[in-house]
Structure 1
Amino acid sequence: MQTIFVLVKCDLGQAYEVADRAVQEIEQVSEVHSVSGQYDLMMKCYLDDGADIGHFVTGHLQTLAGVKETFTIIAFKAFT
Structure 2
Amino acid sequence: MKAIFVQFKCRPGMAYKVADSLIQEVPEISEVYSTSGHYDLIAKFYLADEQDIGHFVTERLQVTEGVADTFTLVAFKAFG
TM-score (norm 1): 0.98
The percentage of aligned residue pairs carrying the same residue is 57
Q: Aligned pairs, how many?
A: 80
What runs of 5+ residues in structure 1 fail to find an aligned partner?
none
Whole-Å separation in 1 of the counterparts to 2:58 and 2:29: 14
4+ residue segments displaced more than 2 Å: none
Read off the aligned partner of 1:35 and give its amino acid letter: T
CA distance in 2, matches of 1:23, 1:46: 13
Partners in 2 of 1:58 and 1:6 — Cα distance?
11
User: For 2:23 and 2:29, how far apart are their aligned partners in 1?
Assistant: 6
TM-score, structure 2 as length reference: 0.98
Q: For structure 2, which runs of at least 5 residues remain unmatched after alignment?
A: none
